[in-house]
């Protein structure tokens, strides 16, 4: 488990990082990754981005409740989910039952099949649509890196925070104390390597696509929105884009080479054993 005392953490005024680590064994080591949620506190209403993994829901719910009560924040009225995969939407049922005024936003294509009794509380969004929180707006942004067809990204217009879901996904090193740190604080993190590993394990389609196209589009989106902070669901938040983004993008480009070089090694070893 991660260092729970470090979260929730305010990564920008009114933007709180919630969650806990998930342990993942890989190549004989235990890597940690987040299935994070983010609470955005506006002057008129609060919004939650993602629900976190079901195993983390009791902790995330407590972290969120503590923030809302301690900061005298306006009530939680909106939930935005980047897509339907369990680590992103697994707490939907519990949230919608607890908060009677909560509405669900994003590409909500099939949520009504799971929760037909709450269909009237589902609000579809498309790129360019926004939710007004008072002193800030939450904008539906282009999902450059998709996990599912229904993926949609979010953007806080006040402090220019991008919520890219599975974009900028990578693990971190528990043994080096990275849990609860922002990317730039994790000095020993090999961001190229862990980004490539995550792409292989969670976004396998990237192994068969020309990722240069996606990297160039991602660069353009960061400029178009004038993004200042990146808050990924599965990685440490990025506050220094100039330093960290190039490394994450290099990891996306390296993922395919990593996979196929491993396959070549395995194939060679099999040939030796069968000779």
The tens digit of pLDDT for each residue in 253-275 reads: 876 565 544 444 344 445 555 65
The Cα 166–Cα 250 span in angstroms is 16
Helix 211-224 and helix 241-274, axial crossing angle in degrees, nearest 10: 170
Query: Does residue 180 sit within a domain?
Result: yes
The tens digit of pLDDT for each residue in 91-122 reads: 999 999 999 999 999 999 889 999 999 999 99
The Cα 194–Cα 170 span in angstroms is 5
The tens digit of pLDDT for each residue in 19-59 reads: 988 777 666 677 777 889 999 999 999 999 999 989 899 99
- pLDDT value, residue 231: 97
SS3 147: coil
User: Does 232 have pLDDT greater than 70?
Assistant: yes
Query: Does residue 258 sit within a domain?
Result: no
Domain that holds residue 102: 4-187+212-239
Q: What is the CATH number for 91?
A: 3.60.15.10
38 DSSP β-pair partners: 17, 49
Query: Does residue 203 sit within a domain?
Result: no
Q: What is the mean pLDDT of the chain?
A: 86
Query: Does residue 29 sit within a domain?
Result: yes
The tens digit of pLDDT for each residue in 132-153 reads: 999 999 999 999 988 888 999 9
Query: Does residue 252 sit within a domain?
Result: no
Query: Does residue 199 sit within a domain?
Result: no
Query: Does residue 207 sit within a domain?
Result: no
For residue 9, what is the DSSP state? Answer: E
Query: Does residue 270 sit within a domain?
Result: no
Domain count, the chain: 1
51, HSE (Cβ side, Cα atoms, 13 Å): 26
């Amino acid at each position: 488990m991660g260092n729970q005392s470090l979260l929730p953490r305010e990564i920008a005024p009114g933007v709180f990082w919630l969650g806990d680590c998930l342990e993942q064994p890989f190549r004989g080591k235990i890597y940690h990754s987040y299935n994070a949620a983010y609470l955005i506190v506006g002057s008129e209403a609060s919004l939650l981005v993602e629900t976190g993994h079901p195993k983390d829901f009791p902790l995330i719910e407590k972290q969120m409740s503590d923030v809302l009560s301690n900061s005298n924040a306006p009530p939680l009225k909106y939930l935005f989910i980047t897509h339907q995969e369990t680590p992103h939407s697994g707490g939907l049922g519990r949230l919608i039952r607890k908060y009677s005024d909560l509405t669900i936003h994003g590409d909500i294509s099939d949520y009504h099949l799971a929760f037909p009794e709450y269909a009237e509380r589902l609000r579809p969004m498309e790129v360019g649509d926004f939710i007004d929180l008072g002193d800030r707006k939450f904008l539906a942004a282009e999902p450059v890196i998709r996990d599912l067809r229904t993926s949609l990204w979010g953007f806080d217009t006040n402090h220019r925070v991008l919520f890219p879901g599975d974009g900028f996904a990578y693990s971190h090193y528990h043994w080096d104390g990275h849990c609860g740190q922002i990317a730039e604080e994790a000095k020993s993190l090999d961001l190229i390597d862990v980004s490539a590993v995550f792409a292989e394990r969670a976004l396998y389609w990237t192994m068969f696509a020309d990722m240069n196209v996606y990297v160039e589009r991602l660069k353009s989106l960061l400029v178009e929105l004038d993004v200042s902070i990146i808050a990924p669901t599965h990685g440490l938040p990025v506050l220094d884009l100039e330093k960290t983004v190039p490394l994450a993008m290099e990891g996306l480009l390296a993922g395919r080479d990593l996979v196929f070089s491993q396959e070549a090694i395995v194939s060679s070893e099999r040939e030796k054993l069968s000779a």
